[in-house]
Chains A and B, each alone.
Chain A
Amino acid sequence: MAYTSREAFFAFRRSPLLTALSIATIAFALYTLSVFGLVWTNIDRVLADVEERVEVIAYLVDGTDPTETSALMREVAAYPEVDSIAYLSKEDALARARAELSDYSALYEDLESNPLPASIEIALKAGYRDAADVADVAARIARFAFVEDIKYGEDWVQKLDFLQNLSLFLGLVVGGVFAVIAFVAIGATINIVLISREDEIAIMKMVGATRSFIARPLVIEGFIKGVLGAVIALVLLTFTYSLLEQRVVSLSFYSPLQVAGGILLGGALGAVASIMTLRRHLATW
């Protein structure tokens, strides 16, 4: 064990340039990946916020019997898609209109009769807020005779749907491509390190070193490089983040757990890339 750890750290002193190069590669790869991840999670968060606002509004015919209204509400509340349901009376609707449209408050002053209909506002559970589910719920409610009109922002629910699918697709594809590039870049620099030590590996094989004896310090070295690269990426990312935050837009950052996970991921990436590259160098004996 003493040998292994000594060897793993020795590499940093022995070939500082090559070591710096591979750490920088890992740092840059992880930085790119994490910036993308940050942008993606923020877009996703915005979309989720918007999605929270998806609701179905059923406008009722004036003079609808309150018992019928409550029967409708009980039935709709029992739909598996429905999260919550609220009744808005004509008076409440007018009060809300006055409050929300204060610029036009003159329009709502001195009205002889209240032109606004009573309505039921139906919020849907997460997972049922896509265009198809929303339309389906709306269609079921529309069947009630005393429902005069139903609105659920069909156009923008579909747009939101599209944006969310696009975001997921880009997240998986672009994120996946970045991850693969990161992995290949890390593998390539570790391969250079191994090629520079080919003579040494040949000597180890000659004097009877086992596979794990040769591999262990190199895998640990890969892990340490991965962790250092991830820490540098984190520093760069924090800097980028605060710059964006100050100058452009308010964003959410990774949680401490995600940061810790990212650093471990860097280490794992370095170790796994080392193992995979080593297999080629240790194929013949």
Chain B
Amino acid sequence: MILFKNVHKEYPRTGYALQDVSFHLRKGEFTFVTGPSGAGKTTLVKLVTMEERPTAGMVRISGYASDKIKTREIPALRRRLGIVFQDFRLLKNRTARENVAFALEVTGASAEQINPKVLRTLAAVGLSDKADHLPSELSGGEQQRVAIARALVNDPFILLADEPTGNLDPKVALDILRVFKDINLRGMAVLLVTHDRTLLGEHPRARIIELDQGRIVRDTANGGAAG
């Protein structure tokens, strides 16, 4: 599924962002990646999406290895990942329905395939009644639900979320976490990156990987020891 093996990532100007990071995420697992800002969380996300490649070590995502994947194979990989960001990243001039449909249009799906799937997915995140609203007409929490629906609509094997609650107030943040938990209950793996420790307490059974200064300082799957 997702395998990091002795991954180092060094940037020319800022130095090491990750050092000797190893972990393995299994099917259906709910994992938090946490740590203070600058710990390397965002770099880790970029390595999963293959936006960045490791300086040393290897990342393997669903059969694609970081040292072998070609640029033209990256779109296929991205379709297997559902990605959610802190700032939602919705297309401002398109409705919720169109934003979700966009992820399917990219794959070349036909309109007949797209419409029912979009409506089903919007229903899954509780937004059926707002399908025809523009992002500017939706609250932050609703916009993030649209983004989650867009991430889900391609049936990815994992939902990857980078600080998905960072722009939301605490109550809404918990609602969004609940959405992720529901999705996970239906069997989808979730990798949720957050610096917000209160979220961790809301999901005690989840695995927690904690980063600090680019190193894993805790991984609950390894009995809490550094990986």
Contact = CB atoms under 8 A, between A and B. Distances in A.
Nearest to B83: A206
A207 B74 contact: no
Nearest to B99: A203
B72 A211 contact: yes
Contacts of A65: none
Interface in B56-91: 71-72, 74-79, 83, 89-91
Contacts, number: 49
Q: Chain A interface residue count: which class?
A: 10 to 19
Contact of A207 (B71, B72, B93, B106): B106
Contacts of A209: 75, 106
A209 to B, nearest CB: 4
Contacts of B182: none
A207 B78 contact: yes
A203 B91 contact: yes
Interface residues of B, number: 25
B208 interface: no
B110 to A, nearest CB: 9
Interface in A224-269: none
A103 interface: no
Given A285-B51, A285-B71, A285-B74, A207 B103 contact: yes
A116 interface: no
A199 B105 contact: no
Given A208-B79, A208-B154, A209-B106, A202 B89 contact: yes
A155 B157 CA distance: 85
B49 interface: yes
Interface in A186-209: 199-200, 202-209
Interface string B117-157: 00000000000000000000000000000000010001000
Nearest to B89: A203
A140 interface: no
A9 to B, nearest CB: 14
B23 interface: no
B89 A208 contact: no
Contact of A199 (B51, B72, B89): B89
Given A14-B93, A285-B51, A208 B107 contact: yes
A202 B79 CA distance: 14
Given A207-B103, A207-B106, A208-B77, 12 more contacts: A14-B93, A200-B91, A203-B91, A206-B78, A206-B83, A207-B102, A208-B106, A208-B154, A210-B72, A210-B106, A213-B75, A285-B71
Interface of A: 2-3, 14, 199-200, 202-211, 213, 284-285
The 5 residue pairs across chains A and B that have the minimum distance between CB atoms: A208-B78, A208-B79, A207-B103, A209-B106, A208-B75
16 contacts: A14-B93, A199-B89, A200-B91, A202-B89, A203-B102, A204-B106, A205-B75, A206-B83, A207-B79, A207-B83, A208-B103, A208-B106, A208-B107, A209-B106, A213-B108, A285-B71
